[in-house]
Structures are given as C-alpha cells and as structure tokens.
C-alpha cells in the first residue's frame, strides 16, 4: 500500500469534505492542491510559521501539538485519513498556533488557505461538509473532556480500543495500536508508566490478549461494559464517518 504511487488522479474523490461538491469547485481545488508524502517524524509545519495552507490527510497519522512555556509538549490532537487541519487558522490568525508532525509515513494534500474563503462563499455543499466535519470533531472533543474526568486510565484505554474497531470487524478482533505507546499515552492524557500499568490492569479485568502492539479480544461486550460504565454515551463513542 505504501508503495503504490501517490498519483493526482481523483485524489479528492474519497474525501468527505468534497463529497457532492460541484465540479467547478473541485476544479478550483484540484488546480491548487499540492499532494506530498511525509516521512515518519517529519514536521508539516511549526507553531509560529506563517500560515499559507491547510491540509487534508489522505493516509497516515499526524500529530498536532504545542510547546508549553516550561518546555513540555502538549498534544492537541492526533488525526488520520479524511481529517483536515490548519483550516481553523484561516479564521483567526496569520500564523499556525500549533505544530503538525507526521507520526507515520503519511500522505497529505495541502491547499492555499485563501481558496477556502471563495469556496465557502460560493459552494454551499462544501460549507455544509466542512461544518459537518467540524461539528463531528467538536462532539468528539466534548467526549474527550468528559472521558478524562469520568473514566480512569484503564477505561480510557479500553474506550480507545473500542473506537479503533470498525463496524465490519469479525471476531476474534485483532488490532494494532496505530502509533507508539508513548504517544498513545499522551493522547489519552497519561504518562507512559501509567499507560503500561493501566493496560495491564485492563488485561486482568477483561479478556483482552496483548502481544507487543497487537491486541486481541473475542467480543466488544466485555470491553465496553468495563470501559463505558462511567460514560454518558451509549457504546460506541465512535466517529465512523
């Protein structure tokens, strides 16, 4: 998969943002897009850089983060296929307010920010898609905050695993953690040490089997019973777009 050429044919076809958008608008975007591959750990942009573009993730994982005054790194979000980033900058700032970095080999498409203004003003479908995406993201953020207060570390891991499951997965379910455990720990708001211990606790309390970065379990039910009992949303807390 990683070796298939990253052509420009119908690159926008499978992206939610462009679904149903008029051919004219698509042409605009196609003519100004820049597809690019990023290596693992390659920066896309840094906090403070002048903001010229926004990005759509075609493949891979991208980490958004910020430097705190005392030198710590705060993870804002970790995104994957179909997600957009950098576009919020358009409404507020002249410079990016966070870092973006590929945490895996990734394929991104960038577009000049000004193209957005015209497209929003003229293409209702695009606006609608964009609002829809932002709205979904906002609800996810809400959940995120809730989870961090009502769930303990093990439950948060369990919930994260559940959200990795696609609806069409057959039992037994077998998952690979999408990125390394350190990053996952901070994504879930805990320290690596805590993550390690919490994952162990989760293994003891449920029927999951762990081998390195691979996790297996037979059914969602035990995991969701354990993880979601403190939660307000019925299982699943999922964003299956």
State residue 49 phi and psi, 5-degree precision.
-60, 145
Contact of 162 with 238, CB cutoff 8 Å? yes
Q: Interface with DNA includes 197 (CB under 7 A)?
A: yes
Closest listed residue to residue 104, CA positions, set 20, 39, 35:
39
Site for a second copy contains 193 (CB under 8 A): no
What does DSSP say about strands 62-67 and 99-102: parallel, antiparallel, or unpaired?
antiparallel
Contacts with a second copy, 2-41, as mask; x by CB under 8 A? ----------------------------------------
Tell me if 19 sits within 8 A of 132, measured CB to CB: no
Strand, helix or coil for residue 127? helix
Residues 41-70 that bind a second copy (CB under 8 A): 66-70
CA 21 – CA 122 distance, rounded (Å): 11
Among 124, 171, 181, 219, binds a second copy (CB under 8 A): 124
> Which partner from the list DNA, a second copy, none does 144 bind, CB cut-off 5 to 8 Å by kind?
a second copy
* Binding segment toward DNA, per CB under 7 A, in 24-32, 113-121, 132-140, 186-194: 186-194
Binding flag, residue 222, DNA (CB under 7 A): no
Q: Kindly state the smallest distance separating residue 138's Cβ from a second copy, in Å.
A: 6
**55: helix, coil or strand?**
strand
The answer to the question of residue 213 lying near DNA (CB under 7 A) is yes
Q: Which residues bind a second copy (CB under 8 A)?
A: 66-70, 72, 74, 76-77, 87-88, 90-92, 97, 117, 120-122, 124-125, 127-128, 130-132, 134-139, 141-142, 144-146, 148-150, 189, 228-233
């Amino acid at each position: 998969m990683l070796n298939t050429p990253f052509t420009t044919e119908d690159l926008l076809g499978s992206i939610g943002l462009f679904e149903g958008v008029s051919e004219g608008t698509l042409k605009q975007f196609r003519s100004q897009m820049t597809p690019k591959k990023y290596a693992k750990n390659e920066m896309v942009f840094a906090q403070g850089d002048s903001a010229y573009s926004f990005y759509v993730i075609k493949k891979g994982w991208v980490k958004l983060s910020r430097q705190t005054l005392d030198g710590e790194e705060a993870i804002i979000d970790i995104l994957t296929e179909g997600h957009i980033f950098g576009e919020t900058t358009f409404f507020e700032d002249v410079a990016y307010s966070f870092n973006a970095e590929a945490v895996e080999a990734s394929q991104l498409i960038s577009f000049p920010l000004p193209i957005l203004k015209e497209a929003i003003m003229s293409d209702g479908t695009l606006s609608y898609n964009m609002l829809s995406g932002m709205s979904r993201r906002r609800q996810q953020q809400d959940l995120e905050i809730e989870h961090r207060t009502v769930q303990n570390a093990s439950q948060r891991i369990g919930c994260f695993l559940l959200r990795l499951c696609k609806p069409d997965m057959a039992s037994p379910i077998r998952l690979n953690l999408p990125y390394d455990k350190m990053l996952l720990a901070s994504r879930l708001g805990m320290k690596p040490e805590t993550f390690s211990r919490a994952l162990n606790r989760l293994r003891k309390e449920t029927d999951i089997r762990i081998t390195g970065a691979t996790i297996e379990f037979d059914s969602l039910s035990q995991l969701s019973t354990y993880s979601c009992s403190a939660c307000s949303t019925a299982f699943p807390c999922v964003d299956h777009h």
